[in-house]
Amino acid sequence: MLDACAEIVDEVGYEGLTTTLLAERAGVAIGSVYQFFPDKRAIVQALTLRNMEAYLERLGDRFSRGDLTYWWDGVDAAIDEYITMHRRVPGFRTLHFGDVVDVHLLDEDRDNNGVIAEQLARVLVEQFGTADAPRLRFALEIAVEAADALIKLAFRRDPEGDEKVLTEATALIREYLHRHVDAAPSAG
């Protein structure tokens, strides 16, 4: 059902998604949809959570290869994976991490990009020995918001992502974080 949901939101957007359309596309009875999801928001929330898990798994795979030496390599990898998901994961370009539905879709107390920033902070601390401080989390929240806006702009300009905008977005985020993120001397 989640795959069908992703296809539908790519075709008609969140507003065009209905539980009836989902049931038809998934080849299930409408009652089966309601057995798992009370409404379309819940379906999209499940798809968004799946996308976040996939994103974090993709990042984990990149980090486990051992070819990322410094924290900024991790930031570049995070941006690259986000762009790749826009290009290849059905429904992601439309839903991102659920902000089109509700900025608190992933967590009722924090906005979606705040959740992503928190996850990135955890990874940077664990993988690269980045200093774990409120300043890191704040800088990452700013960086995630800026990257999200610029990547959306790139995909509005070109269905595959305007490379000039994507290059500038990566440079902007990297330079911003270089000014605000402390790493342990033995990072890497």
**pLDDT band per the 50, 70, 90 thresholds, residue 100:** low
> Phi/psi at 161 (nearest 5 deg)?
95, 115
Question: pLDDT tens digits, residue range 28-50?
Answer: 999 999 999 999 989 988 998 89
pLDDT of residue 111: 79
pLDDT of residue 67: 83
- Mean pLDDT value across residues 50-64: 86
Residue recorded with tokens 């798994």: 57
pTM over 0.85: no
pLDDT of residue 182: 63
Q: Which domains, from first to last, does the chain contain?
A: 46-180 (1.10.357.10)
Distance in angstroms (rounded) separating the CA atoms of residues 97 and 106: 8
- Mean pLDDT value across residues 63-75: 85
One-letter identity of residue 93: R
DSSP H helix total and E strand total for the chain: 9, 0
First-to-last alpha carbon distance for the chain, in angstroms, is 41
